Amino acid sequence: MDRAIAAGLGGLAAGFASLTVQEAVMIAVGCVLLYLAIGRGLEPLLLLPIGFGAILVNIPGAGLMAPGGVLRVIYDAGVLTELFPVLIFIGIGAMTDFGPLLENPRILLLGAAGQFGIFLVLLLALALGFPPLQAISIGIIGAMDGPTAIYVSSKYAPELLGAISVAAYSYMSLVPLIQPPIMRALTTHDEKTIVMPAVRATVSRRTKILFPIIVTIIGSIIAPQGTPLLGTIMLGNLLREAGVVERLASMSANELTNIVTLLLGISIGATMEGSRFLTLQTLTIFALGFVAICLDTVSGVLFGKLMCALTRGKINPLIGAAGISAFPMAARVVQTMGQRYNRRNYLLMHAMGANTGGQLGSVMAAAIMLSVITGLGLG
């Protein structure tokens, strides 16, 4: 009897006995992510399930990521198949209003400039010795778009998925802290105070319906490898703008996105096993991700200055900073800074246009990257 009690107690203590330092650290990291999500409100929809997933996967003996484990099943079904990111894109499309962008289509170019960080960090990662496919996946953090980063890294560097996803979502939530110093440094006082006229709602319903259809056809023909990304975001947007499938649009923007976000977050957290996550490589990825968002902001603002010069001062260069995919944080940052220097200046809708251009730009940049590497025989 005594022996049986001792054996039973041994079973209860086995978890503590086999807990490694790395697992303990990762459980702490998971708790920090939960704190950032709950206590600070930073990207809670993703960081909360990611943090909890990180805790779950580092419980010794639980085997949640072992073959047949519940997290392994979810991961294999939704991440390895690239299903979750594309489903989320349907929801993003259903939530995105391209109206402000269509008011002034030329600001779509800011959405291109806001992606240059991807390619510059890709160069940097290659210079640091990362293999090409890993470097591409790291560079895509610069898209500042979680589903895009997850799609590309799950395709080409699944071993880096956890680090890349956490870096992408963390830096997206830190946009209000990272961007303003760069915007201040790169623009003059006169440029900051340029007043842009109010956006008027002058886009016809027919234009809004045709835009996602034509973008899908043209964009997919240019970069066929990106069709899953571009096609799904535009499908979601068409559901929204068509006006005849409100149930589907509402479901995509709410139920579908919510369910997939939860499963995707847990799956990402499940990739953060201590033995694989706590490496110098992870820290390097975080550093490169930071450089990527800084370079995105720099290139966006510099392109904004170029457009300002070409239009003889009609475009406030600050809106260039919103040419990234972090929606709507980047647009809010631009509005806040514009008002700080000129209280009569309302840049929000212009910045929203650039921001939706950034969403489209990040998808196109990833699509072009995927097609180029396929053409080079890398993918």
Partner 1 sequence: MATQLDPLSLGLVLAVLGMGGTLLTLFVLSLIADLLKRLFPFAVPSPESQVPSQGAEGALGAQNSEPEAR
Query: What's the DSSP call for residue 318?
Result: G
Interface residues for partner 1 in 216-235 (CB under 8 A)?
218-219, 222-223
Tokens standing for 201? 């709602």
**Sole binder of partner 1 in the list 62, 95, 178, 372 (CB under 8 A):** 372
Give dist(CA 330, CA 11) in Å, integer.
51
Query: What's the DSSP call for residue 158?
Result: G
Least distance from partner 1 to the Cβ atom of residue 376, Å: 5
Give dist(CA 131, CA 314) in Å, integer.
44
**Sole binder of partner 1 in the list 52, 75, 116, 156 (CB under 8 A):** 116
Contacts of 250 (CB under 8 A, 6+ apart): 94
Interface residues for partner 1 in 188-207 (CB under 8 A)?
201-207
Least distance from partner 1 to the Cβ atom of residue 354, Å: 12
Between residues 253 and 270, which has the closer beta carbon with respect to partner 1? 253
Do 327 and 111 contact (CB within 8 A), yes or no? no
Q: Look up residue 326 and give its amino acid.
A: A
Q: What is the DSSP string of 251-306?
A: HIIIIIHHHHHHHHHHHHHHT--HHHHSSHHHHHHHHHHHHHHHHHHHHHHHHHHH
361 binds partner 1 (CB under 8 A): yes
* Residue range at the interface with partner 1 (CB under 8 A); choices 26-34, 45-53, 308-316, 361-369: 361-369
CB neighbours (10 Å) of residue 178?
17
* Residue range at the interface with partner 1 (CB under 8 A); choices 39-47, 66-74, 116-124, 179-187: 116-124
3-state secondary structure of 144: coil
304 binds partner 1 (CB under 8 A): no
The position carrying tokens 């200055």 is: 305
Give dist(CA 129, CA 311) in Å, integer.
42
Between residues 209 and 262, which has the closer beta carbon with respect to partner 1? 209
**Sole binder of partner 1 in the list 25, 126, 291, 302 (CB under 8 A):** 126
Write each residue from 62 to 101 as x if it is in contact with partner 1 (CB under 8 A), else as -, in one continuous string.
Answer: -------------------------------------x-x
Give dist(CA 184, CA 318) in Å, integer.
9
292 binds partner 1 (CB under 8 A): no
C-alpha angle 252-255-257 in degrees, rounded to nearest 5: 60
314 binds partner 1 (CB under 8 A): no
Least distance from partner 1 to the Cβ atom of residue 238, Å: 14
141 binds partner 1 (CB under 8 A): no
How far CA 330 is from CA of 96, 334, 337, in Å, comes to 15, 6, 11
357 binds partner 1 (CB under 8 A): yes
Q: Interface with partner 1 by CB under 8 A: which residues?
A: 99, 101-102, 105-106, 108-109, 111-113, 115-116, 118-120, 122-123, 126-127, 129, 132, 135-136, 201-208, 210-211, 214-215, 218-219, 222-223, 243, 357, 360-361, 364-365, 368-369, 372-373, 376-378
